[in-house]
Amino acid sequence: MFKRENRLILGTKFNNFRSASTPQFNLKVKKNGMGINRFGIVVSKKVDKRAVVRNKIKRLFREALIELNRNMFTGNDILLIIKKEIISKTKKEELILLENSLEKLAIIKR
């Protein structure tokens, strides 16, 4: 679970954002003017009707984002929108795709 300060609040607007897209998910990033990163993960019922599966996907990506947050530049709002094609990927492939997308947007320090 993200700390309360690292959660995107409901109603956050993504007007001026940068994005990276893969067949498995969309990643939107915008500056928030704060000294911390805030995260949001969206998994709709189109991905899977069962809440158990949707929550499992959220837990997987939440854990990955918490781990990657140590190497990220601060002051960003990050929204991860999961697509239906994520079901066919393994856990390791999903994490590599996420890390590559964050590197593409120059969010991760390398």
pLDDT digits (tens, 9 = 90+) for 47-70: 999 999 999 989 888 888 888 888
pLDDT in tens, 27-40: 899 888 888 889 99
Decide if 42 is inside a domain.
yes
pTM, two decimals, is 0.85
- CB-CB contact of 105 with 31 (8 Å): no
Inside any domain, residue 53: yes
pLDDT tens digit string along 91-103?
A: 888 888 888 888 8
Apex CA 88: angle with CA 68 and CA 18, to 5°? 45
**Alpha-carbon gap, residue 28 to 22, rounded angstroms:** 12
Whether 110 maps to a domain, the answer reads no
Task: Report which of 48, 30, 47 is spatially closest to residue 39, judged by C-alpha positions.
Answer: 30
Beta-sheet strand order (sheet of 18-21): 18-21, 25-31, 76-82, 38-43
Assign residue 68 the CATH number of its domain: 3.30.230.10
